[in-house]
Structure 1
Amino acid sequence: MTTPARDAYARGADVAVGLVTSEQVATAWDEPSVLDGMSVGELAAHLARSVLQVEWYLDGPLDDQASPVTAEGYYAGLSGTSDLASSLNTGVRARSAETAAQGVAALVAQLTAARERLRHRIEQEPTDRRMTVRHQGHTLLLDDYLRTRCVELAVHTEDLALSLGSDVRTPAPTLAVAVEVLVGAARRRHGDDEVLHALARRERDGTDALRVL
């Protein structure tokens, strides 16, 4: 079954996989990226996890007692996003370094195989399919989890492209989902008044309401 979330994810994943598996990444693997504290290889591994984790969590244990959170709720509940030393960001860097440690050839092989399996698998999953994100402890519907991955694909495809001097960009449907999720998270976190100020009256935006990540 194809849904708008699944289609947007597929488009973004294909572009991300093409970038991660490019010769540019292999050549610049140990060079610093545009993100503090992450090499190009670690950033590529972090981007790759937006494909790898979908399969891992589909195959992983489900907390069937948990009420699913939405993609917007997933991001609204994050804390420490702008603090490099926060547990959130240190965890991201640690997981990225762990994935990158296998080296570029192994990552490329793992990522390419996972994307091909997911290409068919995702379309076969029912609309009520749920999955539990182990390191966050959240349970989401598959489509909502894919919407969170659209955010990660959009943000980090750009990060990696800028690190490489590449003109690769996220597809429009993926980008639209990412913006929708992040604005929705901002509304949940700060309320519509503050989001309105951030969009239309910046002089009254005292909370930096549109900054989610």
Structure 2
Amino acid sequence: MRQAHSPNADYHTPRIARMLAWCAVLAIAVILSAQPTLAQTEPSTSTDATTTADAPAATTESASRPRGSVTNLPIPRFVSLKANEANLRRGPSLSHRIDWVLKRRGYPLEVIAEYGHWRRVRDIDDATGWIHYTLISGVRTALVSAEMVDLHRRPLQTSAVVAQAEKGTVLRLLECERAWCRASAGGYKGWVAKTGIWGVYPAETLE
């Protein structure tokens, strides 16, 4: 016995299948649209900006110094000028008078106080003023304070001299031991005695 064939059966079956398929697609779309959107976000820098801009390189001597109320970094500490030109003001705001204008990128400065986004700094000649924290960097440099210093191959007075630097030369500090710092300037690298430079503390070691 054969089942009677309905002429409408072949017409309705694919149509129903198509409707079910569309319903399944719509259901999946609704589920996906309900899922939360994930986006990669960067950590807020509203707090870190004031603490990392002038953060010094790792040092083993800073633990003995008090901490700044704004950055929790050692006070005093050495930093360097990030900009090609910067104003030193009488107080910590743009409304205060400009006392000094610094025009030497990399020039070493000593932070001696903090207030909000401002740092009070001192230079080698004991001139002081307030500078915005974005204009200084934790990159360590030093100024040759002696008439002439030798850059040695090793941290020994008897070691070979690879270069000499005159008074006023800015050196980039690479590392420091108790009595010596490894520095670079003008394409030369060598060890210089701390006694001939300004920008590092006598007992400070820099890694």
Which is strand-richer, 1 or 2? 2
| Rg larger for | 2
**TM (normalized to structure 1)?**
0.22
Report 1 or 2 for greater relative contact order, CA contacts < 8 Å, sequence distance ≥ 6.
1
